[in-house]
Amino acid sequence: MVDTKVVLSGLELDNPIIPASGTFGFGKEFKDFYDINILGSFSFKGTTLEERFGNPTPRIAQTPMGMLNAVGLQNPGVKHVVEHELPEMKKYFHKKVIANVSGFSIDEYAKTCEILDKEEQVGILEVNISCPNVHNGGMAFGTDAKNALEVTKAVKKVTTKPVYIKLSPNVTDIVSIAKAVEDGGADGISLINTLLGMRINLKNRKPILANKTGGFSGSAILPVALRMVYQVYEAVKIPLIGMGGITTAEDVIEMMLAGATAVQVGAANLVNPYACKEIIEDLPRVMEKYRINSLKEIIGGAHNG
């Protein structure tokens, strides 16, 4: 019998599969497809201090082996999440969740995290300093090591739960940003967020997205994500949640060998609502195929050669 359990900063997960923020809502959109309690956890919809409508439409564009999105952090705001979404979530998801937080200033990040830190259901705070689809926020903090350090320090000052910083791949040196957030006291790192991309409509010769650019996700970005997880694992001592293009149980094993303790599945949920369920069910078979008894034993295994 294989062991699929992993541990993130003291939080034990039945398996390493976590739907990524922005692709799973607050879980209720998927609970009628299958019992989502089979998941290790899930990262709920990116939450800001105030309600946000998001970007104008069109917000989504197809690409070969992936998609572009420029949703722009549409969400009901942290007050609504605490008063309505989390109490409702208790009825259908009985494990700790990951609270994904975004902001437009260091103070906003800190205030939102401080509020969510008090919620019993929240096991980990995932601070998104890497959203490429909003102006004056998100990625503005994630592409500068000093800003990333300051956000991390501010959030850690007002929270007690593990804080994972979600990093942008749209940088020249992912390692320097990772080291900065570790220095700031981060308990872990999530990487990577989407790559910045674009599509153009050949008929009107204009960008398809109203925002012009958007976040590129899907299976095509897996090699980039693997490379960055591999590099960061060698540079820091805190655990990593790897994401970017994961669609199969084999991808999960590969990401864990690169250095991830757990993985997040994003765009695949939007193509196939059963994506995470199918990966979880196939994981024991793939582990047996590659003679893996416990997933804990393979974390960072590609660095041992």
The residues annotated with a catalytic role in the active site are: 131
Burial readout 81-120 (b: 16 or more C-beta within 10 A, e: otherwise): bbeebbeebeeebebbbbbbbbbbebebbbbbbbbbbebe
Could you give the CA distance from residue 193 to residue 216 in angstroms, rounded to a whole number? 9
- The DSSP code sequence of the chain is --B--EEETTEEESSSEEEPTTSSTTSTTTTTTS-GGGSS--BPPPB-SS-B--PPSP-EEEETTEEEE-----B--HHHIIIIIHHHHTTT--S-EEEEE--SSHHHHHHHHHHHHT-TTEEEEEEE---TTSSSSTHHHHT-HHHHHHHHHHHHHT--S-EEEEPPS-SS-HHHHHHHHHHTT-SEEEE--PEEE--EETTTTEESSTTS-EEEESGGGHHHHHHHHHHHHHH-SS-EEEESS--SHHHHHHHHHHT-SEEEE-HHHHH-TTHHHHHHHHHHHHHHHTT-SBGGGGTTGGG--
